[in-house]
Structure 1
Amino acid sequence: MAGNAEQETERQGYSAAQVSNFNEQLRKMRNDGARLKFDLGHLAEQLTATRAKTFAQQGLGRRFHLIERCVLNIFEIYPVGRQKFLSIDECTDIAIQFHAFAMNVNALFDNVAWVCLLESGHVLPPKKIGLLKAACQPFIPTNLATFLAEPDITRWFHDYGTLYRDSTAHRIAPYLPSRAYTPEEGERLRQLHAKSMQEWIEPAHDQLRAGSSERLERLDRLEREKEELGRNSLLMCLSLTGEDASPPVYLHPQLLCDWGLAQEIIRHFLVGMRESRGWLALDIPPLEVGD
């Protein structure tokens, strides 16, 4: 019985343990994010270059809050424990938030590089400015550069972050399918669709003479059965077919992972800038964000 219950939970979505873990991570990251916002504001005042201050306040500051709002908006529309089917419009709203999220996470990393460069007083062509761009490396704090050189981080940038940013901006935007099906459910869906099309296209002559009410009732039953199939998709994807196919990603854990990476890069940036210039850190107590 326990095994069957576990399989059913998995079929319907995340396990109870995963739901609890994701919600705990969300709470912790909101609290950490609030603290980092204060710290970032303090560093912006310590910067000596006017344009570096502008990028820290109006670039990093805006994007950091926007990233958080995208995550929270998606979790509000689609809580990790949700069982009720998502509507097409809700899936579209989630995709809109995810597009903004993907673009701004990557842009935040570029903003960090701009602040580092501008504060150094040096100038580079815009296309050579970036946290992983070779020309920009002399201006990145040592601790941040070391963190960025870790294999998991470089893999994230090259295999996922850049792919989703570029695809969102220029090629195929990520989307959340409105439903996910098992192979058996997918076969049943095809059968129901075929029956539905047959009812619409090839009504029998006696049915036409008798009127359309019975045919409409049959169509309604077919559509109701189709609507009961499947479950909410846990996966976001770009395209699953042809030469543009790429692996899908789990929506909720990917959001938490990317948001966490953004926080970690900001954290290394703040420490590195102060250490390299002898600036004092702000003593910020732990913060608890309310619902």
Structure 2
Amino acid sequence: MPVVYPESQIRHFSEELAKLLDREDDLTIAFLTREFRKAETSELVRHSLVRRLFTLKHAIQRTFQILPPQETAPTGDMLMDATSHLQTFVINVFGAIDNLARIWCMEADIRKPNGTPLKPMAIGLTPGHAPVRASLSQPFQDYLASADAWFDYLEDYRHALAHRIPLYIPPRQLNDEESAEFERLEQEIAQAKNDYERYGVLRGQQHSLGIFNPLMMHSFSEQASPVYLHPQMICDLSTVVEIGEHMLGEIDVLPPP
């Protein structure tokens, strides 16, 4: 069975992930050792953002261990274990970005134009959170605008995971001919009834169809686009780290309270 990623790309994944995890460690230490203006900010940093960063590190490392990029024939248990870590990863990517937005709004005391506090749902860094974005420096605003497509992807996958169809890793991909054969076998399986030996043979024939691609997906009926698991996880973690680094820079230049 062919390897999905070329060897050079697999090496690149390994190198990039190692560098990224070092940056994440530095970011975690920077947030943990910083003195914040408000006690509630310190609590959010220590008990939410930092926990999420630890969780992201664990989840991506375990996913790459359980389902390495060179894997071409994972077992069902491997896919289920990797899926569990993937779902944990995605929900905490979303949560970490939300935490960073709340940390900023707490420390900078971002409010509505009339001086009243922002409602919780108005706090975020997505394109739909224009007032929060407008409170940031222009370079950071430009960076966030460049990531608008990524925010769209993240919200789509997070909302599907939390509210609709959870993320999964399809065990096989079938071409048109293989799909037709799968359906033919499915009809035979339905007719096998209590012939357990034949049932097992037919299921084995089904499982031999197609190839494995390391994709993550939610709903086909919602026209969601499958994405390759390993580079997307690296991209997601990289974006969290970059936004966190930018946010520290924003907080650094706040005037004294």
Q: Is the 8 A contact 1:67 1:101 kept in 2?
A: yes
Structure 2 distance, partners of 1:268, 1:147, is: 9
Aligned residues of 1:236 and 1:249 also touching (Cα < 8 A) = yes
Q: What is the alpha-carbon distance in structure 2 between the residues aligned to residue 139 and residue 62 of structure 1?
A: 26
Inter-partner Cα distance in structure 1 for 2:162 and 2:99 = 18
Q: In the TM superposition, what are the counterparts of 1:1-291 in structure 2 within 5 Å?
A: 9=2, 12-43=3-34, 45=35, 47-87=36-76, 89-122=77-110, 123-132=117-126, 133-150=129-146, 153-158=147-152, 160-200=153-193, 217-241=197-221, 244-277=222-255
Q: SS at the partner of 1:57?
A: helix
Asked if structure 2 preserves the Cα contact closer than 8 Å seen for 1:143 and 1:268, the reply is no
1:113, 1:140 within 8 Å by CA — same for their partners in 2?
A: no
Q: Deviations over 1:166-207 (max 9, x none)?
A: 121112222111222233333333333333333437xxxxxx
Name the residue aligned to 2:114. none
User: What is the Cα deviation at residue 268 of structure 1?
Assistant: 0.9
Contact 1:142 1:272 in 2 (8 A): no
Q: Which has the larger radius of gyration?
A: 1
**Greater helix share, structure number:** 1
Q: Which amino acid aligns with 2:31?
A: L
Q: 8 Å contact 1:141–1:269 — kept in the other structure?
A: no
User: Which ranges of 4 or more aligned residues in structure 1 deviate by more than 6 Å?
Assistant: none
Cα distance in 1, alignment partners of residues 200 and 141 from structure 2: 60
1:61 CA displacement:
0.9
Q: For 1:220 and 1:49, how far apart are their aligned partners in 2? A: 63
The separation in 2 between residues aligned to 1:114 and 1:263, in whole angstroms, is 16
1-structure distance, mates of 2:187, 2:133? 59
Identify the structure with bigger relative contact order (alpha carbons < 8 Å, sequence gap 6+). Answer: 1
CA distance in 1 between counterparts of 2:150 and 2:70 reads 27
How has the CA–CA distance of structure 1 residues 63 and 125 changed in structure 2, closer, same or farther, with 3 Å as cutoff?
A: same
Structure 1 length-normalised TM: 0.76
Match for 2:94: what amino acid? N
- Residues 276 and 182 of structure 1: is their aligned pair in 2 closer, same or farther, counting only changes over 3 Å? same
TM superposition score normalised by structure 2: 0.85
| Matched-pair contact (CA < 8 Å) for 1:85–1:231 | no
How far did residue 220 of structure 1 move? 4.0
8 Å Cα contact 1:182/1:230 also seen in 2: yes
The runs of 5 or more residues in structure 2 that have no matched partner are 111-116
Q: Alpha-carbon deviations, 1:26-67, whole Å to 9, x = none?
A: 222122222222122223x2x111111112222211111111
Q: CA deviation at 1:142?
A: 4.3
Counterpart CA distance in 2 for 1:228 and 1:78 is: 19
Q: Distance in 2 between matches of 1:18 and 1:100?
A: 25
* 1-structure distance, mates of 2:166, 2:149: 21
Pairs aligned (count) = 248
SS of match in other structure, 2:211: coil
Could you say which residue in structure 2 is the equivalent of 1:206? none
Identity over the aligned pairs, expressed in percent?
27
Distance 1:200 1:24, change over 3 A: same
After superposition, the Cα gap between the structure-2 partners of 1:16 and 1:129, relative to the gap in structure 1 and judged at 3 Å, is same
* One-letter code aligned to 1:78: L
